[in-house]
Amino acid sequence: VSPTATARRSATAAYDELIHRVRDAHLLGSTGSLLHWDQEVMMPPGGVEHRSRQMSLLARLQHETLTADRIGELLAECEAGGLADDPMSPAAVNLRELRRTYDRRTRLPADLVAEEARLASVAQHHWVEARKESDFQRFRPDLTRVVDLLRRKAECLGWPADGEPWDALAEDFEPGCTARDVEAVFEPLRSRLRALLDQLRGGTPPDLAARRVRVPLERQREAVRAVAEQIGFDFTRGRLDTSAHPFCGGTHCNDVRLTTRFREDGFLDALSSTMHEAGHGMYEQGLLAEHVGTPMGDAVSLGIHESQSRMWENQVGRSLAFCEWLNARFGSIFGLKGPDAARRLFGAANRVEPDLIRVEADEATYNLHVMVRFDLERRLLRGDLDVADVPEAWNQGYRASLGVEVPDDARGCLQDVHWSGCMMGYFPTYTLGNLYAAQFYRQARRELGDLEGGYRTGRFQDLKAWLNQRIHAHGQRHRAADLCVAVTGEPLSADPLMEYLEGKLRPLYRV
Ligand SMILES: [Zn+2]
């Protein structure tokens, strides 16, 4: 039955009110982001207590706005009024996503939400101590409480009939993606990565000298800013500052805040963090201002966000063509002389080595670090793995996947902050980002031709414009898996990432 003209008129009014309320919630959230940026970049340490009260007030007001009964009434009115008839229209996309997040938020009892916030802050504190002492036993009671709480949370949220508790939690980070979906692409990736690492072990590792050159911090700061600008980050709508942990934040597509960090002997690290965050930042800047504050003006998922950062960091920033431009433009920084200078830079940026720490891993082995965590999380949430057995299971996973012996908990199961912050279901988004990056990039090359030829002369705008048009401008119109099909014509697969890694690393290692 088609809705009457009156119902449609009232649905339109309901939609306007709904969007108005949702935009108010976004104003609160983006104010919180600015306070967070300030805390990481500018705030004196003395401000921490007052700041945490400011941020928790904003978070509470935002939560109240988004879970008000009125939102539920408005959603129902819009849905009944035929506004979602064309599923790809901005109104239908907004309604679909607002319904999804409203249902999730209102399914969680208020005391569970409060308990989660409290537990995350206490557990994180204990995790810092435990990591310092490298003693898992000190963190064990907290992790037990975290797993218990997350299992209750998953029960409240529910998961698909053929799924598992992990799916319920991952929905916050990668909507629509289940453990089964992840496994389907991780499994071939795992075996091909191991085969590649075996081959590289028999090859000649590239020289690392270019990684260790000492560059004055002031010179590094100028250079990474120039690179971010050259690849297309818009400094009239964004900033680049320094913080302990690099991140991309900000308040709006016209105010995007990147941070990076510097070490005298770590210019290549500063450069790749900057390109990584600039990739996130260009996604944010590429969202459409007219949709800001609604799902149509928001990023698809963490995996898709990460695909944008990884593409600029890896596919672009670790290519030989980019190294040639970099060497021509900033060669004096590296002090590399001779006709093979760019090649040596390229080699140093692409050394692959199985090791212990995820955040220091190269782009190939990184994914194996993620898989160990994914496997443990699933088992913990299903109740198949006891918290007490986490260190042993972790160490076993590293032995089997990466072939390394974990010497202590600090360099083992205590290295990541996520679990202490009550976050499970998050890790795979990093590897999904690598997979999406490779698949999107392959498609960009098919459509745009010789991208690398452009990089040699500092031309990056073709890739950026393609990403703006094919991915950024659509906001949440497509779910991640559907976006992949819409952009590349194929579902996500391990092939593009493996072809990219094999195509680059085998010749480099001469195997
Ligand atoms: Zn990132």
- If you write DSSP's letter for every residue of 37-54 in order, what string do you get? HHHHHT--GGGHHHHHHH
Instruction: Give, in order, the Cα–Cα distances in Å from 439 to each of 109, 308, 315, 498.
Output: 40, 11, 11, 10
Tokens of 461: 């705008």
Rounded Cα gap, residues 253 and 287, in angstroms: 6
Ion ligand 1 residues within 5 Å by Cβ? 309
pLDDT of res. 2 = 61
Tokens of 62: 């935002």
Q: How far is the CA of 412 from the centre of ligand 1 (A)?
A: 22
**Strand (E) or helix (H) holding 388:** none
Q: How far is the CA of 314 from the centre of ligand 1 (A)?
A: 12
Q: How far is the CA of 280 from the centre of ligand 1 (A)?
A: 7
| pLDDT digit string (tens) for the chain, length 511 residues | 465 778 777 899 999 999 999 999 999 999 999 999 999 999 999 998 899 889 989 999 999 999 999 999 999 999 999 888 899 999 999 999 999 999 999 999 989 998 998 899 899 999 999 999 999 999 999 999 999 999 999 999 999 999 999 999 999 999 999 999 999 999 999 999 999 999 999 999 999 988 888 999 999 999 999 999 999 999 999 999 999 999 999 999 999 999 999 999 999 999 999 999 999 999 999 999 999 999 999 999 999 999 999 999 999 999 999 999 999 999 888 888 888 999 999 999 999 999 999 999 999 999 999 999 999 999 999 999 999 999 999 999 999 999 999 999 999 999 999 999 999 999 999 999 999 999 999 999 999 999 999 999 999 999 999 999 999 999 999 999 999 999 999 999 999 999 999 999 999 999 9
The one-letter amino acid at 299 = A
Name the one residue in this structure whose structure tokens are 């690290």: 269
Q: How far is the CA of 301 from the centre of ligand 1 (A)?
A: 12
Instruction: Give, in order, the Cα–Cα distances in Å from 491 to each of 161, 307, 481, 487.
Output: 23, 15, 7, 10
- Centroid of chain to Cα 336: 34
Rounded Cα gap, residues 272 and 344, in angstroms: 16
Rounded Cα gap, residues 39 and 45, in angstroms: 9
Question: Given 277, 284, 313, 363, which residue is catalytic?
Answer: 277
Q: Which of 499, 474, 471, 503 is nearest to 487 (CA)?
A: 471
pLDDT of res. 453 = 97
Tokens of 23: 């935009």
Tokens of 496: 């593009």
Q: How far is the CA of 249 from the centre of ligand 1 (A)?
A: 11
pLDDT of res. 4 = 73
pLDDT of res. 3 = 58
Q: How far is the CA of 369 from the centre of ligand 1 (A)?
A: 16
Instruction: Give, in order, the Cα–Cα distances in Å from 10 to each of 2, 6, 7, 13, 73.
Output: 14, 6, 5, 5, 12
- pTM for the structure as a whole: 0.96
pLDDT of res. 258 = 98
Contacts 24+ apart (CB under 8 A), 96-100: 96/295, 97/295, 97/298, 97/476, 98/18, 98/22, 98/71, 98/294, 98/295, 99/75, 100/175
Rounded Cα gap, residues 276 and 299, in angstroms: 16
The one-letter amino acid at 151 = R
- How big is the CA angle at 393 (ends 389 and 396), to the nearest 5 degrees? 145
Rounded Cα gap, residues 236 and 146, in angstroms: 42
Rounded Cα gap, residues 407 and 419, in angstroms: 21
Instruction: Quote the DSSP letter at residue 315.
Output: I
Q: Is 277 a catalytic residue?
A: yes
